[in-house]
Structure 1
Amino acid sequence: MHMIDVNPTVWDRLLAVRQGRSCTCCGRWSADETGALDLYGPLARRDLGPMVVAQIGQSLDGRIATVTGDARDVSGPDGLAHLHRMRALVDGVVIGVRTALHDTPRLTVRLCEGPNPARIVIDPRGRLPDDAPLLARDGTRRIIVQAVDRPRPDGVEVIRLSDRDGMLDPAGILTALHATGLSSLMIEGGGITISRFLEAGLLTRLQVAIAPLLIGGGPQGLTMPSPTEKLSEAIRPETRAFSLGSDVVFDCALNADALAAREPLHARPARAVRS
């Protein structure tokens, strides 16, 4: 278990890495500061090309809400701070329309310093109302990916894609978002949306934050559209555990790019951003 210390000096360094002005490998750091740089550094880097991380917060028994849908306090205070740090380090945050309608999130950075990410909703049928909180005009990019010809308020970008059985192809969504200049993306919710990107093999890394509570029922964190029937075929990522304080986060590397992001920045040459 790695401990972390996200003090102002560490966080300033991570924001500088995000801006391409620094690295996480130089300097003298304590063990806990190094843990923080190891956890967040891969999200801050932009030298390895496009990156897609998913984050989900859940209880010890794998629930993300109660049977009535109450999900507000699943993550502890340190788990929420972790989520806001992740938002500050990526270019854009993606959620499904059901999460947008049920939770009415703002998707802004409030529990740490840093820029707000672009707010992106996957809304095939155009169900999201125009007065949704995440569409508020505040200078941050707002993007809706939809399959219908529905106009949106001025300033809201619309990506029109073809659907299949009411669903949009995750690969097509990522291709379209990368084409708008968003290289680093976080799939924040809900569990079904994350699972579709995971099963499609499109995630660079997955972070599962566990809070120390037992809910006993309610929706599960991740449910794959086509779950494996054999444990020998299950996804077995290379995983590290970090103590956030109130929560524990498991950082899962899902491909070679995720492992490369753990290497010191100066240990490998930068490569061109892939389209």
Structure 2
Amino acid sequence: MSETEVTPQVWDRLLAIRQGTACNCCGNWTAGERAALRLYAPLARRDLGPVAVGQIGQSLDGRVATVAGDARDVSGKDGLAHLHRMRALVDGVIIGIRTVLHDSPRLTVRLCEGRNPARIVIDPRGRLPEDAPVLRDDGSRRIVVQSVDRTWPAGITVIRLPSNDGQIDPGEIMTALRSDGLQNLLVEGGGLTIAGFLEAGLLSRLQVAISPLLIGAGPQGLTLQNPAEKLSDAIRPSMQTFLLGSDVVFDCGLVPEAMQATRPMHPATDSWKLEARR
């Protein structure tokens, strides 16, 4: 497990990587800073093609909320900071309508430097309130993916797609968003939405942030509609683990390109030559 240190210098480098003006390898970094670059650079990079990452914050026993629905402090302060960093590095954040109605998220970047991503709500039946915090006009793009014929105030983009039994195909959503210029995407919640993109094979990576608490009961972080019946058929991602203060992040690569994204960008470095020989 890598103890991760996100120093101001590391974060400045990551924002520069996002802008395409820096690499993730050159520099005199500590072990903790290099761990931070391995964790965040795959989201920041724009040279390896589109990336879609799912993120779940949960307890040690795999819960995302209590039975009563209290989910506010499932992630520790470092886990929350991690989520805000992810938002700052992607082009857009996707959530489902249930998450909006239950948690009233803002999906903004507040715990680190960086600009707010586009905010995308999947709302097949048009239940999203116009005064939801996620739709506040702060200059960032606001996108609603729906199946019904509902109009919205100026400034809100509508992507209309067909639904089947109240569900919009994740592949069609991803295609529409990529066609609209959103390449690096974070699927933030809830668990059903993340599971839908995962089962459709649309996620490059899945990050599971574990907070040190035991809830005992309540909704689980991730439940697949088509779970494996045999362990030999289970999803077995490549994985790195990172200690982020109060939380532990399991960074799971779901496609071969996921591990390539963690490697140094600059081909002239000794570290790149070492990786190439392995």
Matched with 1:185 is: 185
Matched with 2:231 is: 231
Asked if the contact 2:38–2:263 (Cα under 8 Å) also holds between the matched residues in 1, the reply is no
Q: Deviations over 1:31-64 (max 9, x none)?
A: 0110101100111000011100010000000000
Kindly state the Cα deviation for residue 23 of structure 1 after the two structures are TM-superposed.
0.7
After TM superposition, the runs of 4+ consecutive aligned structure 1 residues lying more than 3 A away are: none
Task: Give, as a single letter, the amino acid of the residue that structure 2 aligns with 1:74.
Answer: V
Matched with 2:276 is: none
Output the CA distance in 2 between the equivalents of 1:220 and 1:134.
24
Q: Deviations over 1:98-123 (max 9, x none)?
A: 00110000000000000100000000
Matched with 1:253 is: 253
Output the CA distance in 2 between the equivalents of 1:121 and 1:26.
38
Matched with 1:212 is: 212
Matched with 2:201 is: 201
Task: Give, as a single letter, the amino acid of the residue that structure 2 aligns with 1:241.
Answer: T
Matched with 1:13 is: 13
Give the % identical residues: 69
Output the CA distance in 2 between the equivalents of 1:153 and 1:63.
37
Kindly state the Cα deviation for residue 266 of structure 1 after the two structures are TM-superposed.
2.5
Q: Deviations over 1:181-233 (max 9, x none)?
A: 00000000000100111111110000000000000000000000111110000
* Structure-2-length-normalised TM-score: 0.95
Kindly state the Cα deviation for residue 7 of structure 1 after the two structures are TM-superposed.
0.8
Task: Give, as a single letter, the amino acid of the residue that structure 2 aligns with 1:26.
Answer: C
Output the CA distance in 1 between the equivalents of 2:95 and 2:267.
34
Say how many residue pairs are matched. 268
Helix, strand or coil: the match of 1:265? coil
Matched with 1:55 is: 55
Output the CA distance in 2 between the equivalents of 1:239 and 1:190.
22
Matched with 2:22 is: 22
Kindly state the Cα deviation for residue 71 of structure 1 after the two structures are TM-superposed.
0.2
Task: Give, as a single letter, the amino acid of the residue that structure 2 aligns with 1:89.
Answer: L
Question: Counterparts of 1:148-159 in structure 2 under 5 Å?
Answer: 148-159=148-159
Q: Give the CA RMSD over aligned residues.
A: 0.9
Matched with 1:98 is: 98
Matched with 2:33 is: 33
Helix, strand or coil: the match of 2:168? coil
In structure 1, stretches of 5+ residues that fail to align are 269-275
Helix, strand or coil: the match of 1:226? coil
Matched with 1:80 is: 80
Output the CA distance in 1 between the equivalents of 2:267 and 2:147.
43
